[in-house]
Every structure is written in structure tokens, then in C-alpha cells.
């Protein structure tokens, strides 16, 4: 019997869902003639799926984007979430160029007279927390709805970003504490996003959906660095922190409205898309045991050369990535005398 996975094919016009000529297969019972449906593989014959009850907000406005399917709506929102999450990391690098020239009083004394050690601690404190929650984030995404963990993490980080200007004015140590908290909550975003695709990504579209979501982290640098520079130059060094913090909270409202843990829990997903996702993933996906510390093959991880290759490659990528994020504006400004907006 031909597995369900091989019943999805690419055509010259693009990807077609459930366009198959295999009429003898009984894998997809929605197309069986003896059950009252047409033998032609058409979704017109599918019964209306059982839907969860509508939330209060859904009675006024259904949670759907007219131009996108439900799974691509989630991927697009996740992309925007990463744009905000990584864009917040550009705020400090651009703001420091304005902060170091900020003066106060009649004598024009420098307000933020930080040493190199203090600046280094401010830049690195985010990663102290970010490192800690990478592995626990994966376990959390297995125990609780991954979409809620992803959205809540970015919302909390956005709220903390609103506190950064006030923390810097109080004391650098206070801001270090805020940055550590931001790192702790943002450390779960990548594992949680992978947990979302556990239920929403058909196997033949998993790479496409994940790429669409994760490309937001790189688009954030393209957008965030010039945007933070303009905001800091035009409205003051605090503007970029407030702008990204508010954008993150607004985004969280849309995320709560439009995303759900599983396709079966979406109140207005079409029968076509629901059947496509569930049949392509298969029934074993929902019955997989939840991983625990005891069942995770730690020894195999620690003795696997490909794992170490991934660690080294990701370390080198992250080192260069964050080196440019944190210090490129300062280098261009001090070495070439370029204005902030340039």
C-alpha cells in the first residue's frame, strides 16, 4: 500500500495538495467510495470537520487572514516575531553611540561615563540568560503548547525592553539584570518555534515553513540596524527601545488571536487544509511520547561527532553575527567618522 506521504506531488504549476491518481488506496478514507464519497480525489466530498467552540473574540472577527492559509499565517507571524525579537538586540548597539555623548548639568558632564568593562558586561549580560534556557525550552515546548510559549516569550521580552531606558538611568547593574531576564525568556523562542511545526508543518513543506519563520532573525538585522539608528538620531536614544517594545506587545495580540496549538483546535480551518496536514503527518505524530531528561539520549549526543560539528559551526556563525550587531555601528562611527544615520 502506498504511504500517504507519497500521495503529494509537485506539478509544473506549483505544489498541489492531495492531487493523486491512486484510487485503490484506502489510506485516506475521506475518498473511499463505500463510505459515500466520490472516488475522485476532491475535497468537495469531505465532510465538515468537528470544530472547537468559538472564543468570544471570534464571534466578532474570525481568526483568519484571507490571503494566506492557516499554516502560512503562523509562519508569517513567527517571522515577524523574530524580526521584533532580534531587532531589539540592535537597540543597544545604536543607542550607545548617542548615550556616550549625552551630557547633563551646566558643566556638560557626561551622563553615562562607562568603562570598557561596564560596556562589555552590558553587551554580554543578555547571553548569560540566553544560554541557560536553550535546552529547557525544548522540554517546555513538549509539555505545553509551543505557540503559547513562543508568543509569551517575545511578549515578556518586549515588556522588558520598555524597561531598559529606565534601568540604564538608574544604574548599569539594574540594566544587566533586565538583560539577563530578556535572555532567559528569549532562549526558549527557537525550541518553541520548532515545537509549533511538530503539528502544523506537512513533511514536504517543513523546510519551507521553517525557513519562512526563521528568516525573520536575519531580516531583523537588515531592518533593525538602520531603523534603530534613525529612531535614536531623530527622537533620542530611548526611542528604539520603546518602539520595539510596543511593536512586540501589539504583535502578541495578533499572535494570540490567529495561532493555535494544533490544526484540529483552529475554529475556522478549512476541511481541505486540515485533512492535508493531518494525513501527511500521520496518526503516529500525536502519539509520540513526551521526551524527558531520563529518556533523552545524552550519551549519544556527547559522543556524536556531527553534534560537535554543529556546535562549532553555530558558535562561529553566532560569534560573527553578534559581533556585527553589537560593534559594527561603533566601528564605522569611530574609524571612519560616519554619522549615526549612515
List pLDDT tens digits, range 111-129.
777 888 888 888 889 999 9
pLDDT, average across residues 34-58:
62
- Cα separation, 144 vs 149, in Å, equals 7
| pLDDT interval class at 288 (50, 70, 90) | low
pLDDT, average across residues 39-62:
71
- Cα dihedral 200, 202, 207, 208 sign: negative
- Cα separation, 48 vs 36, in Å, equals 14
Kindly list the distances between the CA atom of residue 204 and the CA atoms of 13, 33, 74, 196, 281, in Å, as whole numbers in the listed order: 16, 27, 17, 16, 10
Bigger pLDDT: 123 vs 49? 123
pLDDT of residue 13: 46
Q: Which of 147-156, 287-296, 309-318 has the lowest mean pLDDT?
A: 287-296
The pLDDT of residue 327 is above 90: no
pLDDT of residue 247: 96
The pLDDT of residue 334 is above 80: no
- For residue 190, give the nearest of 318, 323, 326 by alpha carbon: 318
Backbone angles phi, psi at 11, to 5 degrees: -115, 175
pLDDT, average across residues 44-57:
75
Bigger pLDDT: 94 vs 190? 190
pTM: 0.80
Work out the percent of the chain whose per-residue pLDDT is above 90.
Answer: 41
> What average pLDDT is seen over the chain?
82
Three-state DSSP at 103 gives strand
The pLDDT of residue 84 is above 70: yes
- Cβ partners under 8 Å of residue 20, min gap 6: 7, 8, 9, 41
Q: Which residue has the cell 509539555?
A: 143
pLDDT of residue 189: 94
- Cα separation, 211 vs 336, in Å, equals 36
pLDDT of residue 283: 52
| pLDDT interval class at 34 (50, 70, 90) | very low
Q: Which helix (H) or strand (E) holds 168?
A: helix 146-170
- Cβ partners under 8 Å of residue 296, min gap 6: none
Domains of the chain, start order: 4-42 (no CATH), 78-336 (1.20.1250.20)
- Cα separation, 163 vs 245, in Å, equals 9
pLDDT, average across residues 13-27:
42
Q: Which helix (H) or strand (E) holds 19?
A: none
DSSP string, 247-271: HHHHHHHHHHHH--SSGGG-TT--H
CA 298, distance to chain mean position in Å, is 26
pLDDT of residue 18: 46
- Give the pairing of strands 103-104 and 9-11: unpaired
| pLDDT interval class at 10 (50, 70, 90) | very low
pLDDT of residue 249: 97
- Cα separation, 194 vs 213, in Å, equals 10
The pLDDT of residue 77 is above 70: yes
- Cα separation, 200 vs 278, in Å, equals 9
**Do residues 122 and 179 touch, judged by C-beta distance below 8 A?**
yes
**Do residues 59 and 237 touch, judged by C-beta distance below 8 A?**
no
**Do residues 93 and 329 touch, judged by C-beta distance below 8 A?**
yes
- Cα separation, 242 vs 105, in Å, equals 25
Q: Which tens digits make up the pLDDT trace of 216-243? A: 999 998 998 889 888 988 898 899 999 9
**Do residues 67 and 74 touch, judged by C-beta distance below 8 A?**
no
**Do residues 146 and 195 touch, judged by C-beta distance below 8 A?**
yes
- For residue 126, give the nearest of 185, 188, 180 by alpha carbon: 180
pLDDT of residue 3: 47
- For residue 261, give the nearest of 210, 199, 205, 211 by alpha carbon: 199
- For residue 34, give the nearest of 49, 20, 19, 24 by alpha carbon: 24
The pLDDT of residue 2 is above 60: no
Highest mean pLDDT among 104-108, 205-209, 247-251, 296-300: 247-251
Amino acid at each position: 500500500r502506498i504511504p500517504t506521504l507519497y500521495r503529494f506531488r509537485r506539478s509544473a504549476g506549483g505544489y498541489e495538495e492531495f492531487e493523486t491518481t491512486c484510487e485503490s488506496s484506502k489510506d485516506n478514507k475521506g475518498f473511499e467510495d463505500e463510505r459515500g464519497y466520490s472516488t475522485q480525489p476532491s475535497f468537495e466530498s469531505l465532510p465538515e470537520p468537528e470544530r472547537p467552540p468559538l472564543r468570544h473574540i471570534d464571534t466578532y472577527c474570525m481568526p483568519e487572514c484571507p490571503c494566506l492559509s492557516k499554516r502560512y499565517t503562523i509562519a508569517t507571524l513567527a517571522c515577524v516575531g523574530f524580526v521584533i525579537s532580534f531587532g531589539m538586540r540592535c537597540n543597544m548597539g545604536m543607542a550607545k553611540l548617542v548615550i556616550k555623548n549625552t551630557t547633563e548639568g551646566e558643566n556638560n558632564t557626561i551622563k553615562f561615563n562607562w568603562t570598557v568593562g561596564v560596556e562589555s558586561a552590558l553587551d554580554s549580560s543578555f547571553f548569560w540568560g540566553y544560554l541557560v534556557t536553550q535546552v529547557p525550552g525544548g522540554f517546555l515546548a513538549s509539555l505545553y503548547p509551543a505557540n503559547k510559549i513562543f508568543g509569551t516569550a517575545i511578549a515578556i521580552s518586549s515588556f522588558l525592553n520598555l524597561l531598559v531606558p529606565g534601568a540604564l538611568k538608574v544604574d548599569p547593574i539594574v540594566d544587566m539584570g533586565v538583560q539577563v531576564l530578556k535572555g532567559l525568556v528569549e532562549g526558549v523562542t527557537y525550541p518553541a518555534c520548532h515545537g509549533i511545526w511538530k503539528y502544523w508543518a506537512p513533511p514536504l513543506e517543513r523546510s519551507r515553513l521553517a525557513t519562512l519563520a526563521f528568516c525573520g532573525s536575519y531580516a531583523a538585522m537588515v531592518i533593525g540596524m538602520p531603523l534603530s539608528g534613525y529612531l535614536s538620531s531623530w527622537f533620542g536614544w530611548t526611542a528604539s527601545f520603546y518602539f520595539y517594545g510596543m511593536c512586540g506587545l501589539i504583535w502578541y495580540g495578533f499572535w494570540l488571536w490567529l495561532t493555535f496549538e494544533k490544526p484540529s483546535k483552529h475554529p475556522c480551518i478549512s476541511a481541505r487544509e486540515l485533512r492535508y496536514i493531518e494525513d501527511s503527518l500521520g496518526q503516529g505524530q500525536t502519539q509520540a511520547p513526551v521526551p524527558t531528561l531520563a529518556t533523552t539520549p545524552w550519551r549519544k549526543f556527547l559522543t556524536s561527532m556531527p553534534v560537535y560539528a554543529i556546535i562549532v559551526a553555530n558558535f562561529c556563525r553566532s560569534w560573527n553575527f553578534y559581533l556585527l550587531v553589537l560593534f559594527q555601528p561603533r566601528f564605522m562611527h569611530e574609524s571612519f567618522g560616519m554619522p549615526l544615520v549612515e
